[in-house]
Amino acid sequence: MDQDEILLDAEERMEKAIEHMGSSMGGIRTGRANPGLVDSVRVDYYGSPTPLKQIANVSVPEPQQIMIRPFDITTLNDIAKSIQNSDLGMAPNNDGRVIRLNVPPLSTERRQQMASRIKELAEEARVSIRNIRRDANKHADQAEKAKTMTEDDRDNTKDKVQDLTKKYEASVNKIAENKEKEVMED
């Protein structure tokens, strides 16, 4: 691998780590309704667990309510059962056509739990980014040993990888900080 390949690979992988953290945080509940809250719900649809968003339209008509409109009305009870069995902590209101979920306000204790979960997710992302840095540095060392890269190029590559690491760790910190603010405000 040459310098450009190492840097490109490291940057792509760090970007994926950020995306993964973002999608994990999307399911963390704030005080407001968000379609991402039901992303983790799987419904037993003709014998196979299917993501809710594949069998229903999920919308937010009000700040404290999620509305689920199934494409096939016969799945309404299965969807309600899956929501009750999930760890969302919300009771589905089934009116025969749609399911409404009222998002209750969060208690202070629950907000603190979610803030600590955000910190865990951010730390996982930072660890992932550092592992990517380690791999990129290892590739640079191997290229130098294989004489496909000079010692100066190797050091230059390691410096650039470190700059990428700092950039993406700062991004992780910013995302986590914003999400934590969102969770902690009433």
Q: What is the mean pLDDT of residues 161-170?
A: 96
**CA-wise closest residue to 18 among 176, 159, 181, 177:** 176
**CA-wise closest residue to 60 among 38, 34, 99, 23:** 34
Tens of pLDDT, residues 79-91: 999 988 887 778 8
Write the CATH number of the domain with boundaries 35-102. 3.30.1360.40
Position 116, amino acid:
S
The ranges assigned to domains in the chain are: 3-26+107-184, 35-102
14 C-beta neighbours (distance < 10 Å), count: 25
Sign of the dihedral through C-alpha 104, 108, 109, 110: positive
pTM (predicted TM-score): 0.71
**Can you name the CATH fold of 3-26+107-184?**
Topoisomerase I; Chain A, domain 4 (1.10.132)
* Cα–Cα dist 171/166, whole Å: 9
* Cα–Cα dist 53/67, whole Å: 12
Tens of pLDDT, residues 20-54: 998 888 777 666 778 888 887 899 888 899 998 89
